[in-house]
Amino acid sequence: MSTTTVPYGDTLDVSKTPGIPLSRLVRVELRKMIDTKAGMWLLVAIGAITAIASIIFGFVGHDQDRNFGDFLGFAGTPQGFLLPVLGILLVTQEWGQRTGMVTFTLVPHRGRVLGAKVLAMSVLAAAAIVLSFVVALVTTVIFGGSNRWSDFTPIDILKISVGQFTGTAQGFSFGLLLLASAGAIVTYFVLPQVITILVNVIPSLTDKAGWLDFKTAQGNLFTFGEGNLSGKEWSQLLVTGAFWVLLPFVIGVWRVLRTEVK
Amino acid sequence: MIKFEGVTKTYGEFTAVDNVSFVAKPGRVTGFLGPNGAGKSTSMRIMVGLTPPDRGTSTIGGLKYADIPNPGRHVGVLLDASAQHAGRTGREVLMLSALTMGLPEARVEEMLALVGLSESEAKRRVKNYSLGMRQRLGLANALIGDPSVLILDEPANGLDPAGIHWMRSLLRHFAERGGTVLLSSHLLHEVEMIADEMVLIGRGKIVAEGTKAELLQTAGTFVKAEDLTKLHAALERAGIKASPSGDGGMRTESDPIDVGRIAAAEAIVLSELRPAEGAGLEELFLELTGDHARENVDFEGAMA
């Protein structure tokens, strides 16, 4: 306790209180990802599975497959699955665990809190992408086949980065939309599969799959050595991304800004 | 100072908070008293901007809550001690608040010491905390920013008598330094112990407010007689309404001297005759809580 003896009046003197900078909120959100058992183990799992998958592939993969692109694919897959879950938990814990009552009281501008969460997720996604490159580089040097550096061009770096970012963003959006961990995680894993199956079994949809299914459109990002995506493929990514990532995000933000925190 | 002016909040047909106005003054501990479901928590959520009111305004120190920069440094809030991530340690909960407010880590240790959470307790995860420990952690979280206003929803819930006594002196010191304290409770004796001022709320409306002394002092008489029926009839004839109260007595609105005169005139033997101290508040509170009696029982049962 402070030993202030200045009596407080009827009005608050806020002239000496600076606001909370966004950078501080981002640090808080990054900390929230790792300070719970669920968050910490998720990160440990991402690191461990990434390393183990790459090493196993290094031992059992065919000579012609053991190139940088394939190692990168192995390093990136577990992250692609698990990073979105972290994004979901970062949002839903404020409702499921009801920490929002403290978070939104300390920062009564919910938009800023969401902004900090988006930035924190971006920092983490970027770190994860760098990690997958490092792992792929090391495993290629150690286990690489005779043609280890073939089939990979600098544009592939952009492609895999976009792929990982959009995947994480989709998880985050589903979390915002549903505000419940279990529901958001299940929906995130099941719904895209259902859509993929649907567009593949309904003949009239199949040739339009790229325009309807985000996973199909995203798939082009993870094939390496074939240069840039075509204009049409980028457009498909944009269209499906707007529907499957941006739309849930916008509805979710609207919901968070309006909903009562209990 | 917390100021609530004409605040109304409805949920469909149900009016949770109905045109409520009151002030919690600096230097005073104000008790917000009412049964569960009376609108206390909704009012408190409106104060800190978690729930938007349909009508009316709420200000703290003349400012809307959302306009207070770094509000944790000015207003300490504990709305629900259980609203913490079960997987975080107690220490980490305070660390996140300190980090958000831009406070040094040392402040976390100070607060843990203040509320009496030991080092090993602070390292445990919140899911392993008793309700009393959660309340202490919540109080530490409210105090960490060294605020001048405290808003506490049922802070004594789950505390043992020693804990309530501890909290009383803590809040008293806080108010003596000029701070504003608003705390809610559904238990009259709890508020009587801690608060200087009281605001009684029932079904969304303010039903009484004032200092503890004002509210406890009521006009009226408590009387016991050898023949209560005879006295009752005599009082009726004199135009004084009397109703049964306590064990084998009656309460009237008139002064003890009038009741005494009537009894003397009718030669009725009295065994007790005194001003009805405090009975007004207690009865008002019982009347308010009557409809919610079962809810109270369930609530206590769930907390046990």
The rounded average pLDDT for each run of 10 residues, N- to C-terminus, in chain A (262 residues) is 57 92 97 88 87 88 87 86 88 91 96 96 91 91 86 86 92 94 93 89 86 87 82 92 95 93 86
Q: Measuring CA to CA, which residue among A33, A199, A202 is closest to residue A118?
A: A33
Instruction: Verify whether the Cβ–Cβ distance B62 to A6 is below 8 Å.
Output: no
Q: Shortest Cα distance from B217 to chain A (angstroms)? A: 28
Q: Could you give the CA distance from residue A219 to residue A129 in angstroms, rounded to a whole number? A: 17
Identify the DSSP state of A246.
Answer: I
Q: Which of residues 231-250 of B touch A (CB under 8 A)?
A: none
Q: What share of chain B is helix, strand, coil (3-state, %, to 5)?
A: 40, 25, 30
* Chain A positions with Cβ closer than 8 Å to B: 1-2, 4-12, 14, 17-20, 24-25, 27-28, 31-32, 35-38, 93, 97-102, 104-109, 260-262
A19 by Cβ neighbours in 10 Å (0-12 / 13-18 / 19+) ranks as: middle
| Residue B170: predicted pLDDT | 94
B10 inside 8 A of chain A by CB: no
Query: Is the separation of the CB atoms in B156 and B185 below 8 Å?
Result: yes
Predicted ipTM beyond 0.85: yes
| Residue B147: predicted pLDDT | 97
pLDDT in tens, B202-240: 989 998 888 877 776 666 788 999 888 899 999 999 888
Q: Which CATH number fits domain B221-276: 3.30.70, 3.90.930, 3.40.50, 1.10.287?
A: 3.30.70
| Residue A204: predicted pLDDT | 86
Please give the structure tokens belonging to residue B273. 């005759």
Which of chain B's residues have a Cβ under 8 Å away from the Cβ of A14?
63, 68-69, 74
Q: What share of chain A is helix, strand, coil (3-state, %, to 5)?
A: 75, 0, 25
Q: Measuring CA to CA, which residue among A175, A85, A72, A155 is closest to residue A124?
A: A85
Instruction: Verify whether the Cβ–Cβ distance B49 to A36 is below 8 Å.
Output: no
Contacts of B107 (CB under 8 A, 6+ apart): B98, B144
Query: Is the separation of the CB atoms in B250 and B268 below 8 Å?
Result: no
B86 inside 8 A of chain A by CB: yes
B83 inside 8 A of chain A by CB: yes
B139 inside 8 A of chain A by CB: no
Angle (CA) A115 A118 A120, round 5°: 105
Which of chain A's residues have a Cβ under 8 Å away from the Cβ of B96?
28, 31-32, 35
Q: Could you give the CA distance from residue B285 to residue B207 in angstroms, rounded to a whole number? A: 10
Q: Which of residues 152-211 of B touch A (CB under 8 A)?
A: 173, 177-180
Within chain B, all domains assigned CATH 3.40.50.300 are found at: 2-209
Query: Is the separation of the CB atoms in B97 and A102 below 8 Å?
Result: yes
Q: Is the dihedral of CA B172, B174, B180, B186 positive or negative?
A: negative
For chain B, 304 residues long, give each residue's pLDDT as a single digit of tens.
Answer: 999 999 999 999 999 999 999 999 999 999 999 988 899 999 999 999 999 999 999 999 999 999 999 999 999 999 999 999 999 999 999 999 999 999 999 999 999 999 999 999 999 999 999 999 999 999 999 999 999 999 999 999 989 889 999 999 999 999 999 999 999 999 888 888 889 999 999 989 998 888 877 776 666 788 999 888 899 999 999 888 888 877 778 888 888 888 999 999 999 999 999 887 655 677 777 777 665 444 444 434 344 3
Amino acid A206 reads T
Structural element, H or E, at residue A119: helix A110-143
Residue of A nearest to B151 (CA): A105
The pairing of strands B2-11 and B221-225 is unpaired
Q: Where are any strands of DSSP class E within chain B?
A: 2-11, 14-24, 29-33, 55-60, 75-78, 149-152, 180-185, 197-202, 205-211, 221-225, 242-245, 249-252, 270-275
CATH homologous superfamily, domain B2-209: P-loop containing nucleotide triphosphate hydrolases (3.40.50.300)
> Rounded to a whole number, what is the largest CA-CA distance in chain A?
78
| Residue B249: predicted pLDDT | 85
Q: Choosing among B96, B99, B151, which should be mutated to test the A contact, i.e. which has the most A CBs within 10 A? A: B96
Amino acid A127 reads A
Identify the DSSP state of A242.
Answer: I
Given the structure tokens 């605040």, which residue do they identify? Answer: B7
pLDDT in tens, B166-212: 999 999 999 999 999 999 999 888 888 889 999 999 989 998 888 87
Within chain B, all domains assigned CATH 3.30.70 are found at: 221-276
